[in-house]
Every structure is written in C-alpha cells, then in structure tokens.
C-alpha cells in the first residue's frame, strides 16, 4: 500500500521562507508531485521530481530523496496569495499508474 | 495552454435523478482522470482512461459510470446517488500515463450536492 505524511498546517510570515515536508512509503515509486490548491479551487501543478535532488522554479523549489522516501517544497519570499493547501502526491506503478495524494498542508501566510 | 474545462460548475440533484458531468481538453492529452474530493480531504482517484480505454477503476460504485466518447471528452454519468456522494468532482488530463509526460492538469471541478 501507500502512505504519505505531511504536516496538517503551517503558518509563516510574508517575505519569509517556508519548507513543507513530505514523507512517503510506496512499493512502486515512480515520481513525486507538488500541487497548490486554494480553497474551493482545483489543484494546480507546481513541480514533479523523479530523480534525487533539487528542482528550482522561481520562488518554488522541490527536493527529493528516494532512498529516504522524503521530499520538501520550499517557498521563498512568501506572499499573501501563497496561503493555500499544498498537496504532495506520489506516482505509484503498482497495479497500474496511479497518483496518490497526501492529505495536504494548509499554509497560512500572515502579514 | 493547459486548460481543462468542466461543466456544470455546480449541480444539485435528487437521489432519483440522472445527470452527467462533462470534461473537455484540447491539449492532445491521451490520459484523462476523474477524482472525488471531499472538503479538507485530498483528491481520491476514481477512474483513469488511457487512449480512450478505461484502465483503472478504483472500485467505484456502479452509480457512477464513466464514458470517454473521444480523446478530448470525458463524461461521468450519475444515477441514484446518495447524499454522501456530495463532493467536488475533478477531471484531470495528462499527456500520457507513462514516461515524463505524466503531469496531470486539473479542471475547475463540479461541485455536486445530492439531496
């Protein structure tokens, strides 16, 4: 089976840096996604890591360590609009290619 | 263009009604997905279509019936739903189901209320 863990909530200050961690256990790991979801809206794609290391994309970076079953999403220069849920999702090829979502981390950015 | 469209945006239906949710993409993607999302919960996979064929059914009750008329369209037919089926129904598409082209792009969702 699969298990994905991320903190339920985090709070950070505008302009600061925040790191959202995700740990996972899966038998057929085939990549890890981060999505952003504002309340009542659809998830929007942020990043996809399939190899170990850091992927940087503007203010957002994502890191993966396959041996540790660990990823993080780093958000720099936080803005109020970054207040949202951040979903870690693992792609698993057991029984067909599926993307399994973690419960999400609700990030509150305060002034 | 990474747009996936869904209609309707909101739907209220009774337990005896039959309705359909529609999803469309014109990105040439060959994989399309239906997810169900309850409030403050992650999306849960329901169905995956790959090259217009159903490839994954996550043991979804038969009152939900997916259909893929062509590579751009995905429908979800609803019949005899229960109040607990009320949720946000999300459609997504990806270029393929394997390789580096697996990133899923989501539509805005249909918020379904079953009375």
Q: What per-residue confidence (pLDDT) applies to B102?
A: 84
Mean pLDDT in residue range B81-95:
95
Can you read off the two tokens belonging to residue B68?
Answer: 């893929």
Q: Which residues pair with A91 in a beta bridge?
A: A99
How close is the nearest chain A Cα to the Cα of B58, in Å?
10
Two tokens, residue B109: 């969702």
φ, ψ for residue B83 (rounded to 5)?
Answer: -55, -30
Distance from CA of B84 to the nearest CA of A (A): 18
User: Chain A contact for B103, CB < 8 A?
Assistant: yes
Tokens 């740990």 belong to which residue?
Answer: A23
How many beta-carbon pairs below 8 A join chains A and B?
50
Average pLDDT over residues B89-105: 86
**Residue B61 burial by Cβ neighbours in a 10 Å radius (0-12, 13-18, 19+):** exposed
Instruction: Give the mean model confidence (pLDDT) for residues A60-88.
Output: 97
Q: Does B21 touch chain A (CB under 8 A)?
A: no
| Confidence grade of residue B43 (pLDDT, cut at 50, 70, 90) | very high
Assess whether pLDDT exceeds 70 at residue B31: yes
A68 CB neighbour count, 10 Å cutoff = 10
Average pLDDT, chain B: 93
């Amino acid at each position: 089976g699969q298990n994905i863990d991320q903190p339920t909530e985090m709070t950070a200050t505008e302009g600061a840096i925040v790191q959202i961690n995700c740990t996972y256990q899966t038998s057929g790991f085939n990549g890890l996604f981060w999505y952003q979801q504002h309340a009542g809206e659809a998830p929007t794609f942020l990043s996809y890591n399939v190899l170990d290391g850091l992927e940087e994309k503007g203010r957002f970076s994502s890191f993966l360590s396959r041996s540790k079953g660990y990823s993080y999403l780093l958000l720099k220069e936080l803005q109020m609009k970054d207040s949202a849920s951040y979903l870690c999702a693992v792609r698993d090829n057991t029984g067909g290619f599926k993307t399994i979502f973690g419960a999400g981390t609700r990030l509150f950015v305060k002034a | 263009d990474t747009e996936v469209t869904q209609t309707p945006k909101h739907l209220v239906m009774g337990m005896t009604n039959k309705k359909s949710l529609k999803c469309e993409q014109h990105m040439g993607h060959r994989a399309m997905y239906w997810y169900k999302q309850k409030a403050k919960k992650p999306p849960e996979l329901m169905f995956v279509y790959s090259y217009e064929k159903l490839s994954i059914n996550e043991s979804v009750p038969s009152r939900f019936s997916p259909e893929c008329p062509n590579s751009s369209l995905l429908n979800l037919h609803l019949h005899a739903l229960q109040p607990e089926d009320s949720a946000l129904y999300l459609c997504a598409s990806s270029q393929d189901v394997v390789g580096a082209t697996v990133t899923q792009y989501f539509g805005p969702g249909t918020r379904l209320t079953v009375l």
